[in-house]
Amino acid sequence: MRPKAQILQNPRLKIVQAWKSGLMGYLLQPQAGPREVSVVARWDDDTEHVSVAAQNRDPTQGEMRMVQEIFWGEGERVVQRNPRFKLHGHGLHLWKENGTDTAAPPEGEK
């Protein structure tokens, strides 16, 4: 994950609240309305997790890529997971488990 200071300074993210191990905010996109796509991030020594939710639709793959670029570097592997229990009906989740390579594609894929 990128350093917290770098994430907080990203002009594509409006921070509403930040704490030691996470933050809450909104993506800033010219084509979207204010507060249309919310972002909640949490990290600790084992796991990095960013939840992305839109008001009345699922986030687009472009929005998910934007969030991934804001929070992680180009060489970092991140997976999109769909948990069994969701607080928000239109939320998608990006995860990285530190110390493992669980996000690696199957052998032979890129």
Give the predicted TM-score (pTM) of the model: 0.84
Better-predicted residue by pLDDT, 2 or 36: 2
- Is the Cβ–Cβ distance between 24 and 8 less than 8 Å? no
Q: Residue 57 is part of which domain span?
A: 4-97
pLDDT (tens digit, 9 = 90+) per residue, 36-49? 899 999 999 999 99
CA distance 54 to 52: 7
Does residue 110 fall inside a structural domain?
A: no
Does residue 37 fall inside a structural domain?
A: yes
CA terminus-to-terminus distance, the chain: 21
CA count, 13 A, side-chain hemisphere, 33: 4
Does residue 72 fall inside a structural domain?
A: yes
How many structural domains compose the chain? 1
CATH number for the domain spanning 37: value is 3.40.1720
pLDDT (tens digit, 9 = 90+) per residue, 50-109? 999 988 888 999 999 999 999 999 989 999 987 666 666 788 999 999 887 655 555 555
Does residue 109 fall inside a structural domain?
A: no
Closest CA to 6 of 55, 80, 101, 73: 73
